[in-house]
């Protein structure tokens, strides 16, 4: 059995689908249904069982998880980067993860967990080294602190421990994330509802809409998880991104062109009013990553050869998946 925590969420449900695609359906999904509609993300998935998050935590604490667990893919976390309740964030992202790691280490169960590129803060260097890490908010700090805990545990660990620092992931099944859903999701919603997309005006030395991120298609994230699942002898903390930075203008242009079937340039879409620029929010000043670009050399050095999709390729798949519903 493979356990997927946060399995009804965005990346978690895509992981369950990915496991099914390679013939694995002995999957225990752990999540909570405080948002009852999240069940929609698991429609069409084959799973062995479902456990509420709190029930699962209680079983972990009593070390009562069944002996046949082959691996834990830990995606469960509070992903709201605007959350201000530090106690809540640390309980969900740090303490929960730490207890689960301790259990997996005790039982020598491979443990693959979701970290975040937010740990790099406002820096310009994105390789997996402590000197590049600096948290801008409590979400990033909760992820960074757990990565640091993991590094200490790896020294004596007898089983696989892998942390995956996701960059800006987008794709199907993120509708429930609200304001924390990807810009690709929000741009498509805006364009469908209003006929235009709003981007931030220039900030931190970048022109209007030219802030740049490493946007990664969720299917590529699933592939990286499955790679480590199939290589249980490898441990470490690794970036998961494309290795390319692309602008918010690039994402908006790809969303609009994929939706309309046209091939307009960004400038043409600005001139037509389909791309518009709004003031940069005061509450994000000093807490915003204007540039990210994953250094994936550590991942590639392991023999990972899959090509990551560009924004144009991934967004086209995304829009097509939404249109097919």
Two tokens at 157?
A: 């660990």
Q: How far is CA 260 from CA 7, 60, 142, 195, 257, in A?
A: 33, 49, 40, 11, 5
d(CA 12, CA 61): 22
Distance of CA 154 to the CA centre of its chain: 23
Q: Match 């050399």 to its residue by tokens.
A: 297
Question: What gap in Å lies between CA 75 and CA 5, rounded to an integer?
Answer: 5
Report yes or no: 288 and 212 within 8 Å, Cβ to Cβ. no
Picking from 296, 289, 219, the residue whose alpha carbon sits closest to that of residue 248 is 289
**Out of 94, 113, 139, 185, which one is annotated catalytic?**
139
Q: Which are the contacts of 101, defined by CB distance < 8 A and separation ≥ 6? A: 111, 113, 149, 150, 153, 161
Cα(195)–Cα(274) distance, integer angstroms: 6
Report the alpha-carbon angle 255-269-173, nearest 5: 15
Phi-psi sector, 225: left (phi>0), alpha (psi -120 to 50), beta: alpha
Q: Are 172 and 14 in contact (CB under 8 A)?
A: yes
Which one is catalytic: 88, 177, 206, 288?
177
Q: Is 191 tagged catalytic?
A: no
Question: Among this protein's residues, is 139 annotated catalytic?
Answer: yes
Residues annotated as catalytic are 139, 177
């Amino acid at each position: 059995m493979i356990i997927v925590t946060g399995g009804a969420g965005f990346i978690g449900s895509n992981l369950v689908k990915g496991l099914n695609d390679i013939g694995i359906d002995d999957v225990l999904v752990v999540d909570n249904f405080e948002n009852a509609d999240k069940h929609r993300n698991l429609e069409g998935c084959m799973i062995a069982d479902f456990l509420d998050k709190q029930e699962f935590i209680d079983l972990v604490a009593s070390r009562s998880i069944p002996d046949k667990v082959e691996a834990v893919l830990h995606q469960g976390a509070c992903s709201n980067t605007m959350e201000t309740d530090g106690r809540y964030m640390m309980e969900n992202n740090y303490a929960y993860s730490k207890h689960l790691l301790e259990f997996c280490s005790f039982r020598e169960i491979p443990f693959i967990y979701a970290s975040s590129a937010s740990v790099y803060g406002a820096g310009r260097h994105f390789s997996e080294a402590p000197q590049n890490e600096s948290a801008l908010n409590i979400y990033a700090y909760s992820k960074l602190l757990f990565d640091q805990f993991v590094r200490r545990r790896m020294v004596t660990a007898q089983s696989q421990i892998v942390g995956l620092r996701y960059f800006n992931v987008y794709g199907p099944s993120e509708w429930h994330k609200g304001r924390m859903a990807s810009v690709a999701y929000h741009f498509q919603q805006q364009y469908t509802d209003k006929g235009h997309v709003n981007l931030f005006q220039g900030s931190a030395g970048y022109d209007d809409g030219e802030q740049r991120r490493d946007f990664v298609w969720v299917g590529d994230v699933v592939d990286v998880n499955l790679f480590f699942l199939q290589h249980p002898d490898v441990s470490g903390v690794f970036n998961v991104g494309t290795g390319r930075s692309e602008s918010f203008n690039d994402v908006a242009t790809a969303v609009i062109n994929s939706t309309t079937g046209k091939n307009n340039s960004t400038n043409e879409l600005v001139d037509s009013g389909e791309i518009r620029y709004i003031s940069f929010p005061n509450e994000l000043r000093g807490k915003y990553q204007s540039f990210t670009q994953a250094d994936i050399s550590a991942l590639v050095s392991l023999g990972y050869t899959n090509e990551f999709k560009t924004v144009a390729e991934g967004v086209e798949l995304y829009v097509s998946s939404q249109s097919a519903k």
